[in-house]
């Protein structure tokens, strides 16, 4: 995939993000629907006054949902995955069970398997409510980030792929090079395709996650995802507005540490850029064994 080459090639020029941050006068130019910014700002205001929304408490949730959500909140994704797989084994034709399995898979850093389960859920009649929309947005974007070299269930706010867009999206070269044992050259067409893919995936997932948040204004997971994707899409003002109203809802959550990391990097991306300039170790996540018989 050309994105892996782009991500590696742009490691040598990643410092440009820090320079741009220090200048502090220009944002990344990213093509996104013009209504997303105002919608995010409106969602931030609504979120601030909304009561927390829990997908396990909806009528569409399977009987296993509360236990799965409890395990996720307790920062035990392995237990959540085991519970979700057990529920699906008992009701393989239940689309809701597949949606919850998809969420557990995402929490375990397995977005490809999550997308498979979402496809199976849709083929069995699942519709895109706030929960399904959120899981789909997070799974698709995480799958893209993994393909571009990131690892884990919650990659940093600033990844190597994001840095590539910052640099290439500002017209910094029609070809990128990686020197070493093997020289890599990208054509202008490959660069444009890679940047366009990042923008397309980010904007599409942002729109989907935002719709989920608008349907369920107190959905903390969706709010955090929208805030992250807004920053990645270059919508810094709206993204910051949502980041600003989230803190009190993050206390005691398993992603609280990730939020604190992201907020720190949003205020000063220097350390995030330094980390993104280092090629990540190969991912160690594996597809759950029992999924072989649950497809």
Residue 293 lies in a domain: no
Residue 39 lies in a domain: yes
Model confidence at 271, in pLDDT bands (50, 70, 90)? confident
Residue 292 lies in a domain: no
Neighbours of 158 (CB within 10 A): 24
Neighbours of 253 (CB within 10 A): 16
Residue 52 lies in a domain: yes
Model confidence at 166, in pLDDT bands (50, 70, 90)? low
Query: DSSP 3-state assignment of 124?
Result: coil
Residue 165 lies in a domain: yes
Per-residue pLDDT of 112-135, as tens digits, reads: 999 999 999 999 998 889 999 999
Per-residue pLDDT of 205-227, as tens digits, reads: 999 999 999 999 999 999 999 99
pTM of the predicted structure, to 2 decimals:
0.81
Residue 37 lies in a domain: yes
* Between 163 and 83, the higher pLDDT residue: 83
The answer to whether the CB of 231 falls within 8 A of the CB of 241 is no
If one counts the domains in the chain, the total is 1
Alpha-carbon separation of residue 222 from 64, 73, 165, 179 (angstroms): 21, 15, 24, 40
The stretches of 169-235 forming alpha helices (DSSP H) are 188-215, 220-232
Cα 271 from Cα 158, distance rounded (Å): 10
Residue 23 lies in a domain: no
The domain containing residue 164 runs over which residues? Answer: 2-14+30-172+187-280
- Residues belonging to the chain: 295
Residue 140 lies in a domain: yes
The answer to whether the CB of 239 falls within 8 A of the CB of 36 is no
Per-residue pLDDT of 34-57, as tens digits, reads: 999 999 999 999 999 999 999 999
Query: DSSP 3-state assignment of 72?
Result: helix
């Amino acid at each position: 995939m050309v994105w892996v080459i782009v991500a590696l090639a742009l490691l040598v020029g990643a410092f440009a993000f820090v320079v741009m941050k220090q200048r502090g006068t220009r944002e990344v130019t990213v093509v996104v629907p013009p209504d997303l910014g105002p919608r995010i700002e409106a969602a931030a205001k609504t979120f601030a006054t909304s009561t927390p929304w829990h997908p396990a408490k909806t009528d569409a949730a399977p009987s296993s949902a509360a236990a799965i959500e409890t395990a996720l909140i307790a920062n035990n994704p392995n237990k959540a995955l085991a519970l979700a797989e057990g529920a699906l084994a008992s009701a393989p034709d239940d689309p809701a069970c597949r949606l919850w399995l998809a969420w557990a898979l995402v929490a375990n850093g397995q977005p490809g398997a999550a997308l498979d389960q979402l496809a199976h859920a849709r083929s069995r009649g699942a519709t895109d409510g706030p929960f399904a929309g959120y899981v789909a947005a997070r799974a698709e974007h995480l799958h893209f980030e993994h393909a571009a070299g990131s690892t884990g269930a919650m990659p940093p706010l600033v990844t190597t792929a994001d840095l590539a867009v910052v640099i290439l999206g500002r017209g910094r070269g029609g070809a990128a090079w990686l020197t070493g044992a093997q020289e890599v050259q990208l054509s202008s067409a490959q660069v444009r395709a890679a940047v366009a893919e990042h923008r397309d995936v980010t904007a599409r997932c942002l729109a989907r996650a935002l719709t989920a948040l608008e349907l369920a204004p107190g959905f903390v997971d969706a709010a955090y995802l929208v805030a992250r994707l807004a920053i990645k899409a270059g919508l810094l003002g709206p993204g910051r507005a949502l980041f600003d109203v989230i803190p009190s809802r993050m206390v005691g959550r398993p992603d609280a540490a990730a939020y604190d990391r992201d907020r720190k990097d949003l205020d000063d991306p220097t350390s995030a850029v330094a980390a993104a300039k280092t090629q990540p170790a190969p991912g160690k996540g594996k597809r759950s064994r029992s999924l072989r018989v649950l497809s």
